[in-house]
Structure 1
Amino acid sequence: MTAHTMNVNAVVDKAKFKPFHMTVVLWCLFVVLFDGYDLAINGVVLPLLMQEWGMSAVQAGMLASTALAGMMFGAMFFGMLADKIGRKKVILICVTLFSGFTFLGGFAENPTQFGVLRFIAGLGIGGVLPNLVALTSEYAPQKLRSTLVTGMFSGYAMGGIMAALLGTWLTPSFGWQIMFWIAGIPLLVLPLLFIFLPESLAFLVKQQKTEKALAIVQKLSPEDKVTPQTVLVFNESKVPAASISALFKQGRLPGTLLFWLAFFMCLLMLYALGSWLPKLMMAAGYSLGSSLTFLLALNIGAVIGTAGGGMLADRFHIKPVIISMLTVGILALIGLGFNSPQPVIYFLVSLAGASSVGCSILLYSYVAQFYPLAVRSTGLGWASGVGRMGAIVGPIVIGFLLGLELPHKFNFLAVAVPAVLAVIAIAFIRPAKEQEEVVITKASIEPIKQTT
């Protein structure tokens, strides 16, 4: 009896959208929803913490950056770990960390306790993002890849909307702590994640878990006959697994450095806005209540920008879409520095949200397409980790500017400068030229031995 060979990459690329794809996207979306929520609660609670603990804007900016520092280390470490032990295990570990320690943050009694808990939670928040992107990208059909990755990532902006709404409704009655206790919800869902979230297909094949891999291939391609004798092969570049040095080889050096710069600048802009927008609008003369409404507008714009950007990236090329969206964001931020009617300000805030969140998310999808499978999580993790340095710098810089009490238009111009630098970096990115070959793993050779 002759074994039947199936190329995993071809099966995934040509698959039609099926319930299996929806399962992957929805579970990843649920996890990223709480990551976006976690970012936005900084903007909700910082004015309240400054009042309760008597902090200056600079001190509050430093406190907001503790979680972001954790995210930086988490993205780098868990990105590499996933290429070794599998994406699913790392996602479960990260959810436990960020949900559990964000929940505990609601019990903090002083800035030191709060900062320590936020740093540990940040390890999980930063570690989970590159793995959610890698897993979604790995299972997405080629024609829908950017749409599904950005669709999953729209949960990030939805989490921001949830935080803005709950902050407006709940904090006056229950205090800032309630925002952190809500973040414990994913802990309750961990058993379901363990059961229903699939592991990386390439990882299953490499680990000789042929039965599970074949079951997933059958779901992706039910029209093809998959038997225990089916041999799974996949395309893979000749790079050492989970190797940082591989990010700089085979023509990837310029692209890696440019992606790092783009991530740094985009996340600086994103987290500066996410952490300080209510306070920035208060400095421009608005009340705290209306400033939280601006946070809601920012995240509504982010949802539209994320979904729309993904569809445009699949229709056109992802690179010009990112550059165009960043350009719109730059113009919106410049516009916010001028006194305009309130509806116009809401519109500009929405455009800034669409640009900052949408472009950051599209960058994840762009990076996932740039690196080969063997180092995809590593590449995403390090790009995200370097970006987190920008995320750390952003709230501190804006806190410093607010402390100087400059005219508010200078605050928005300062947020626009990183976007200009990100446009320049992305404009120079070129695809790496590398050879990919079909690899037959030990797991897929076994059936041949038994049946030929």
Structure 2
Amino acid sequence: LILATIGLHPFRASPGSTIRRAVQDYHFRAMDDARLTSAHWGLLFVLGVALIIDVMKPATLAFVMPGTKAEYGLTTTELAMLPLIALTGTTIGSVIWGYLADRIGRRASILLASVMFIGTSICGFMPSYSWNLFMCFVMGLSAGGMLPIVYALMAESVPAHKRGWLVVLHGGMGTVGGYMAASGFAALLEPIFTWRILWFLGLPTGLLMLLLNRWIPESPRYLLERGREDEARAVMARYGIILERTETPPTQAAPSHTEKRLGGLIRLFRQPYAARTFTVVLYGLGWGLVNWGFLTFLPTFLSDAGYGRSSASGLLFFSSVISIPGTVVVAWLYGMWSSKRTMILYAALTALTMVGFAFLDPDPTRANPTILTILLVSLFVASGGVISMLSPYTAEVYPTALRGSGSGLAAGSSKLGGILGPPVIASLMAISPGLALPALASAAPIALSALVLAWLGVEARGRRLEDISSAIVPGTPSDSGPGVL
């Protein structure tokens, strides 16, 4: 892995003012107005598989926890260390891989993440709980890599007038598909091969991604940002894009010496990007507390309610299948109505669903199955809508040079909720029966994120990426005519 990283790292000068000004001299004719070609659909298919695999890895945690608890005789507090350690790795991995995507490229980062996927299958061989914790941390480092890269690449490759609804639909289906894969494999394989078989799936999924990497082209925007014009032309030819040079004088000032020294992550917290960073981080954190803090313990709650492990996994699988139409709805609203308002709406719906869980009977064995199923479906629809919009939105509101880092930070914030959530939820479940306190504690942050988004969020629907960037960075090249990117 280290040798592969060295081999893929571009040991050349960082993009300076010359390259940045050169990018302004080019226009992508008809890129944002073009129809989707077979090359676009092929890319979306391959990235969809990558997204499913990426979501499946951490989602598997929820299904290995009951078996791990039984085999090692763990208390609820001890068990909470498993998602805590794994999601710590995922949080760190998201930030690192997002930064790497801006340094070595989107395609190269996906390749490295796939190599790490293969190594994580060793989790199934670990003899003790402490070794499981260590390997789950490594698993988290790899699983955190795919999400920010996939969305950055999609945002930079899909035409603007179709980008919003298509990327959100793609992301929503990938999220649902990842959870379906995790719950489906758990329902089919765990009763026969125990919980350890779920970790072995890292081997075939990693090999699959290595194979599919052949059909993932590099982002043309990234290539031009790095001054690799010939490679950009070759990639854009696959999409039917003509690269033209214009004589428009550059309007963006060259980066200052101080700006060149600043890493991408530091720049995200400086003006003019600080407000956008705060918005997406809080939105991701709110979702993470619901998904990784609350949803992770649902299989355990269902087991306590009298469902067998296979039945609990089957119920969650059924709920995720039923939520698929909701993914189509959120994609339509995001792309056809309003990106900002749709994100606010689904965050509010998630908070209301969590309040509904708070009113369930404290005794798990007396929980109404019908109401429980309705709440589960509502939770999958609402929270699935939240996460399916977070990464596409983040990829839209940052410029090309920071898109990977920004996407990685947003993905990391969603996992940060997993670091904070499990110990808090476990403690609340230990001191109070039922789901009332855990549900209310999870509802508050996501509700707050909706309010902050209403205050600081920006509308991205139907706008070109450069237009969104120019709204906060005066002088950034934007739309200056038909067919211009």
| TM-score in terms of structure 2 length | 0.81
Task: Look up the match of 1:136.
Answer: 154
Q: How much does 1:28 deviate?
A: 1.1
Task: Look up the match of 2:293.
Answer: 272
Unaligned runs of 5+ in 2: 1-24, 362-366, 459-470, 479-485
Q: What do residues 134-180 of structure 1 show as CA deviations (whole Å, max 9, x unaligned)?
A: 00111111122122322332222212112212211211111111111
1:169 corresponds to 2:188: yes
5 Å-filtered alignment, 1:56-205, equals 56-97=75-116, 99-153=117-171, 154-205=173-224
Task: Look up the match of 2:450.
Answer: 423
Q: What do residues 328-349 of structure 1 show as CA deviations (whole Å, max 9, x unaligned)?
A: 2222222233357523321221
User: What CA distance in whole angstroms lies between the structure 1 residues aligned with 2:97 and 2:282?
Assistant: 21
Unaligned runs of 5+ in 1: 440-452
Q: What is the DSSP-based 3-state SS (H/G/I as helix, E as strand, rest coil) of the residue aligned with 1:7?
A: strand
Task: Look up the match of 1:411.
Answer: 438
User: What CA distance in whole angstroms lies between the structure 1 residues aligned with 2:240 and 2:104?
Assistant: 26
Task: Look up the match of 2:58.
Answer: 39
Task: Look up the match of 1:444.
Answer: none
Q: How much does 1:51 deviate?
A: 0.3
Q: How much does 1:255 deviate?
A: 2.3
Q: 1:424 to 1:193 in 2, by over 3 A?
A: same
Q: How much does 1:24 deviate?
A: 1.5
Q: 1:407 to 1:386 in 2, by over 3 A?
A: closer
User: What CA distance in whole angstroms lies between the structure 1 residues aligned with 2:56 and 2:286?
Assistant: 21
Q: 1:334 to 1:190 in 2, by over 3 A?
A: closer
One-letter amino acid matched to 1:171? E
The answer (yes or no) to whether the contact 1:250–1:434 under 8 Å persists in 2 is no
5 Å-filtered alignment, 1:229-378, equals 230-231=244-245, 243-284=264-305, 286-300=307-321, 303-336=324-357, 337-338=359-360, 341-378=368-405
The answer (yes or no) to whether the contact 2:169–2:330 under 8 Å persists in 1 is no
Q: What is the DSSP-based 3-state SS (H/G/I as helix, E as strand, rest coil) of the residue aligned with 2:125?
A: coil
Task: Look up the match of 1:50.
Answer: 69
Q: 1:397 to 1:285 in 2, by over 3 A?
A: farther
Q: 1:294 to 1:401 in 2, by over 3 A?
A: farther
Answer with 57-66 or 230-239: which moved more: 230-239
User: What CA distance in whole angstroms lies between the structure 2 residues aligned with 1:174 and 1:141?
Assistant: 45
The answer (yes or no) to whether the contact 1:101–1:118 under 8 Å persists in 2 is no
The answer (yes or no) to whether the contact 2:92–2:412 under 8 Å persists in 1 is yes
User: What CA distance in whole angstroms lies between the structure 2 residues aligned with 1:187 and 1:233?
Assistant: 46
5 Å-filtered alignment, 1:392-407, equals 392-407=419-434
Answer with 167-176 or 268-277: which moved more: 268-277
Q: What is the DSSP-based 3-state SS (H/G/I as helix, E as strand, rest coil) of the residue aligned with 1:263?
A: helix
Q: 1:115 to 1:41 in 2, by over 3 A?
A: same
1:391 corresponds to 2:418: yes
User: What CA distance in whole angstroms lies between the structure 1 residues aligned with 2:434 and 2:271?
Assistant: 48
User: What CA distance in whole angstroms lies between the structure 2 residues aligned with 1:318 and 1:389?
Assistant: 24
One-letter amino acid matched to 1:81? L
Q: 1:367 to 1:58 in 2, by over 3 A?
A: same
Q: How much does 1:88 deviate?
A: 0.8
Answer with 31-40 or 143-152: which moved more: 143-152
Q: How much does 1:404 deviate?
A: 2.2
Q: 1:237 to 1:110 in 2, by over 3 A?
A: farther
The answer (yes or no) to whether the contact 1:258–1:426 under 8 Å persists in 2 is yes
One-letter amino acid matched to 1:263? G
Q: How much does 1:194 deviate?
A: 3.3
The answer (yes or no) to whether the contact 2:292–2:415 under 8 Å persists in 1 is no
Q: What do residues 191-232 of structure 1 show as CA deviations (whole Å, max 9, x unaligned)?
A: 43332101111222244443332132223236x5x6xxx548
Q: 1:116 to 1:16 in 2, by over 3 A?
A: same
User: What CA distance in whole angstroms lies between the structure 2 residues aligned with 1:233 and 1:72?
Assistant: 44
Q: 1:176 to 1:286 in 2, by over 3 A?
A: closer
Q: How much does 1:6 deviate?
A: 5.3
Q: 1:88 to 1:285 in 2, by over 3 A?
A: same
Structure 1 vs Structure 2: percent identity of aligned residues? 25
Q: How much does 1:129 deviate?
A: 1.0
